[in-house]
Amino acid sequence: MHIFPAIDLYDGKAVRLFKGDYAKMTVYSDKPWEIALDFKAQGATHIHIVDLEGAKNGDTPNLETVKKIIQTTDLFSEIGGGIRSMEVVDRYLTSGLDRVILGYNQAEKLSRSQFAQIMNKLLGRDENASVIPAEGSYCIPDISKERSDYSHLMEATVAHTHSDDGAA
């Protein structure tokens, strides 16, 4: 089992939201890569990054900060937050991230060829979703026959995020 300590990003800073409320944001550092280095010094081998601004607008406003975290730590890194297009997936993966996290609504929109291109770099799980990935499959409610033909090829990884206390 791998534990992924998380860093939530907003305006290039490491932050936490209280119960997902942007108005109740606490800034922990304006150098998130230093927090990631501390995680590594404490034995972490993986890191989970959330782009809170990206979650709002679907873009990559904290990409330079993400790159610095990756370059500074060399941890296995995954990111979530607003990934709504293959362009954003490509931007993150070509920047050195090891994995991207899509929610069910976004994964459902991928074509067969798009899914095949990134299936080992993709996962998703929302705490409010009614279905979770099982037996290595990416289970999407009302999954189409086309997608079910290759969903079993996904690596067996489950990411569960929890936001009641502001943690992602």
Residue 12 burial (C-beta neighbours within 10 Å; 0-12, 13-18, 19+): middle
Q: Report which of residues 115 and 128 the model is more confident about.
A: 115
At residue 71, does pLDDT exceed 70?
Answer: yes
Read off the pLDDT band of 104 (50, 70, 90): low
Q: What average pLDDT score do residues 121-133 get?
A: 47
DSSP reduced 3-state for 47: strand
Q: Please give the structure tokens belonging to residue 30.
A: 């304006």
Q: What is the pLDDT of residues 15-59, one digit of tens each?
A: 999 988 999 999 999 999 999 999 999 999 999 999 999 988 888
Q: What is the mean pLDDT of the chain?
A: 75
